Structures are given as structure tokens and as C-alpha cells.
Amino acid sequence: MTSDKNVIAYIRVSTLLNQDPQVQLTTIREFAKQRDLKMVGEYVDEGISGAREKRPALDKLIGDARMGKFKIIIVTGIDRLGRSTKHLLNFLDEMQHYGVSLISIREQLDFSTPTGQMALTMLSAVATLERQLISERIKTALAAKKITARDTGSNWRCGRPRKVTNDIVVTVLELRSQGLSFREIAKRLGISHMAVYRIANQK
């Protein structure tokens, strides 16, 4: 039976920013030592965007969690797991199913405690509100453009653009950060599913 003191470290660093994974590892090792926790694994993703849900080390971590190899995941900050609130919530829900909890050092959150569970509920509520607000902003903007096009005789239409502009790239990244799927974003912006995938997965 896996001990409740068995913990692992998850680290994600950006090679573009010349980040050293040892900085996060040292912080997590010291944290575990101070709390008499047993470090049984270290999972490191280097040079992989936080917007990507599929990562080699994170995928291995999930597989090992499913096998019951540890009870606690320690990260230096929530953003190491990802930028999408939806992805984070789905991840935490899956870990909870496996009997694994998460500790984030920077935010001082332990999601196995009542305080951590309250924070998780708040995150979920905020994610839902954010998606609703973004949806309303997009609908309002499109409606305004249609009215302007009608009144000015412009040939603008709400459809698939011929090329991906900088504005589209920014919008795609914003929508992904709020947890919308590739297909939802493609449908809203009138671009291909693959175009959204390429934009969202660029480093």
C-alpha cells in the first residue's frame, strides 16, 4: 500500500527563458524535507508550453498516479501545470479520482484540505464565469460588425478568413487560456481546427 507520505515533484521550465529545472527541484525537495515527506519521483518537462495539455513528463505522471505510485504532487506554482483553468480543474478531478492530492508552494495551497477544496470550488466558478463573459463579448463584437457592414455596404461577413492574422492568434490564445476546446474556437472564429491547434501549441 502506498504511504500517504509518498510525494513526487512536477517541474515545467521554458528553455526560451533559460530556466533551470534545478531551481524548482531544490525548492520542492526542501519543502518535502521540512514536512517529513518521502520524495519518490521527479517529473520534468523542459521547453514545453504551459498551454499544451499533452506533455511527456506530465503524461507519465498521470499514468503513475493511476497505478498508485504516490499520494501527493508538489509544484512550485499552479502555472507549472498549465495556463488553462479548465485543464487544471480536469487534472485535479482526475487526480482526486486516483486518491492523489496537489500542493502548490507559491500559492500555499493543499487541495486535500478544506481550504484547498474551497479554493478549487472558487476556481471552477471563475472558469465558468470567464467562459460566459468571453462568449458574450465575441457575440456582441460580431453583431456590431454585421450592423456596421450592413449600414456601410461593406462586404464583410462572418465567415472563414483567408489567412490567420495577428488578431486571430491573440484571440485563439485568449480563448484557450479560458478552457475552450479547439473545435469551439475554430467554430467561433471561422478558422480550421488545425489552424487553432497550431496556434495553441506554438511555444
> How large is the angle between the packed helices 182-189 and 166-177, nearest 10 degrees?
140
Q: Using one digit for the tens of pLDDT, what is the confidence trace for 112-147?
A: 777 776 776 666 565 555 556 666 777 777 777 777
Least confident residue range of 43-52, 70-79, 155-164: 155-164
Coil, strand, or helix at residue 174? helix
The whole-chain average pLDDT of the chain stands at 80
pLDDT for residue 75: 93
Mean pLDDT of 36-52: 84
Q: How far apart are CA 180 and CA 71, in angstroms?
A: 30
Taking the domains of the chain in order of start, what are their residue ranges? 6-112, 128-200
**If you search the block for the grid coordinates 508538489, which residue do you land on?**
74
pLDDT band at 47 (very low <50, low <70, confident <90, very high): confident
The residues near 40 (Cβ < 8 Å, ≥ 6 apart) are 6, 7, 8, 69, 70
Q: Using one digit for the tens of pLDDT, what is the confidence trace for 77-94?
A: 888 887 677 777 788 888
- Note the CATH architecture for domain 6-112: 3-Layer(aba) Sandwich (3.40)
Closest residue by Cα to residue 8 from 84, 119, 118, 98:
98
Catalytic, out of 14, 112, 124, 135: 14
Reply yes or no on whether 177 is catalytic: no
Most confident of 14-18, 31-35, 136-140: 31-35
The helix (run of H) or strand (run of E) holding residue 172 is: helix 166-177
